[in-house]
Amino acid sequence: MKSCRYNSNSSGTGRRLDSALTPAFGSPQRSQLCPSLDLIPRDPSTCRSACSGIECTCQQPAMVNLPERNQLCSRHVLLTWHTRLRLSSYRVLFAKTYIPWIVYRRYLPAQHTVNMTSQTSWLTISPASHFSLANIPFGIISTESDSTHRPAIAIGDYALDLAAFAAADGFSGSATIKKQAHVFSSPTLNTFAALGRPFHREVRAYIQSIFAEDTQHAALLKDNASLRESALLPLSSVQTHLPLSIGDYTDFYAGKHHAYNVGVLFRGPANAFQPNYTHLPVAYHGRASSVVVSGTPIRRPWGQILLDPKAEPKIPALEQCRKLDLELELGMFICRENTLGEPVPVGKAEEHVFGYVLMNDWSARDVQAWEYVPLGPFTAKNLGTSISAWVLLADALDGSKVQGIKNDTDLLPYLREGREDNVLGIDLEVDLITSTGNKTTISKTNSRNLLWSWPQMIAHHTITGCNLRTDDLLGSGTISGPDSGTEGSILEQTQGGKVAIRLEGGEERKFLEDGDTLVIRGWAGKEGALVGFGEVSGKIEAALPLF
């Protein structure tokens, strides 16, 4: 461990508080955070009986609200990354240099903590809603009566206007949030994101407490008819906007099944993967300016295309794209910056994650086939990238972590994670709706089909010292499953346009046609406590005439 961590003491009887921690914290106090330890004791009786002869000075009370899903080692409760109960989520109760552990409790005050397994809301929320009390996603809205862009959260069939809520002193129940309430008057989520995950965590939990059936802050919203009228708006009445002003956009290629399927199409099964694929998270830098919010139409692009790829010499023509496609992805926003020249360790990368969105990386396959050598895709990918309007905070999806595709490659140390449940397990569906209104679900898959995790992507992105910024967007790459009907692109489903997809109403598609609408949905959890994105959609419009 590093010098700032809790290290074994000289007698080997546990862990002591290393003196190197003193400059940052001194002796830990109740209100201070320790970002290092990941072990807490069981209740005292269990702890003492399990120490197997090692003197245990743990005299702490049993932990309350310990999550059901955890792993036990022989002497301690080891909080896995799946439970996401990391030290940034806890306050130090007390600490002495001679005790082997420090006991932690929820960082948030008790009145702001919501037990999502039993808590209900005073607001009517459908069990099938993506925006349950367990979620609390953030976005940017405007209304017909007020065109100002401002932050909001989605809950059930409503959006809580955070600007109006803050202006009415809705955050008076938390001194910490109230001091920063000005961020809820910003036209984007950038300033909110920049405050970091501990603050995001506190805001989310506070809002959950506001909507809890037994809320201790009933006067702020539940019993405040006037504020409910002005701040709690039907989702159908609000216009959503791009949630953050995006500085840079990087798209990865972490979907192993997609990479294999496409590799087979172009190079055959024996050479489907490039030699580097399992050694590093492959990516390219995309175009941030053409990232658009869900519902924005996508114009069919023009580009250089080889009409006859087998002809010699190879002479391209300027044509409308004939092979327009989708790519089913997840997107992730950065909240915490790193200094130029300083890589982010994979074990600390999670603290840089603000939240997640659904993504459709629209692709012009015929343009891409001609232009991608030798530097990769360019205009074939800059025609538009659609993202969902609501950002799911990283903490909201903590419980959805699962094991991704196993990588048998001996990774370099900077990419090695100390956990197996390292990717999100999000159920994903894609609908194709034709101009006649016929809807067909063309794909069902899950985001567990990724070879690389977000921490690994961040670690690799920054290993050169590249500095990520608060408004940066990272894409996962196309998410495909191993079976038919789980592909994340039409290119894969049609084997490059050789086999048509049969749609409801008798129509067929080899690629997208003008008037087609793509709708992607994603969610985790069970009914009553779904943590979902809503959807990301886009309709294909005809190409503009150039001549």
CATH of the domain at 401: 3.90.850.10
Encoded amino acid at 385, one letter: T
Query: What digits encode the pLDDT tens for the residues 239-259?
Result: 999 999 999 999 999 999 999
Tokens representing 230 are 């002005």
| Residue at 312 is within a domain | no
Of the residues 92, 107, 122, the one at which a domain ends: 107
| b/e code 82-115 from CB counts within 10 Å (16+ = b) | bbbbbbbbbbbeebeeebbbbbbbbbbeeebbbe
Give tens-digit pLDDT for 453-488.
Answer: 999 999 999 999 999 999 999 999 999 999 999 999
User: Catalytic: 279?
Assistant: no
Residue ending a domain, among 107, 127, 156, is: 107
Binding residues: 251, 253, 267, 327, 329, 361, 368, 372, 381, 385, 478
Looking at the fold, whether 178 and 296 belong to one and the same domain comes out as no
Supply the CATH number for residue 152's domain: 2.30.30.230
Same domain (yes/no): 262, 233 = no
How far, in Å, CA of 13 to CA of 533, rounded?
A: 47
Does 181 lie in the same domain as 328?
no
Instruction: Indicate the annotated binding residues for substrate.
Output: 253, 267, 368, 372, 478
Q: Domain span at residue 38?
A: 1-107
Residue 5 has pLDDT above 80, yes or no: no
Quick check: is 127 in a domain? no
Pairing mode of beta strands 508-509, 517-524: unpaired
Is 344 in the same domain as 442? yes
Looking up tokens 């053409």, which residue turns up?
A: 290
Both 452 and 522 in one domain: the answer is yes
Residues 84 and 219 in one domain: no
Q: Is the pLDDT of residue 532 over 90?
A: yes
> What span, in angstroms and rounded, lies between the C-alpha atoms of 535 and 294?
7
Residues 6+ apart with CB under 8 A from 125: 131, 132, 133, 155, 156, 157
pLDDT band at 119 (very low <50, low <70, confident <90, very high): low
- Both 380 and 282 in a single domain? yes
- Same structural domain, 225 and 273: no
Average pLDDT over all residues of the chain: 84
304 with 370: CB under 8 angstroms?
Answer: yes
Residues 184 and 262 grouped into a single domain: no
235 and 254 both lie in a single domain: no
What six digits make up the tokens of 313? Answer: 């010499």
Question: What CA–CA distance (Å, rounded) separates 137 from 335?
Answer: 15
Predicted model pTM: 0.80
pLDDT reading at 63 higher than 80: no
Residues 413 and 442 in one domain: yes
E-assigned strands of 12-72?
Answer: 15-16, 39-40, 71-72
258, 352, 460, 461: the active-site residue: 258
Q: Are 332 and 465 found together in one domain?
A: yes
Mean pLDDT of 424-429: 98
Residue 88 and residue 143: Cα distance in Å, rounded? Answer: 36
Select from 87, 107, 127 the last residue of a domain.
Answer: 107
- Provide the number of structural domains found in the chain: 3
Residue 462 within any structural domain of the chain: yes
Numbered residues of the known binding site for Mg(2+): 361, 381, 385
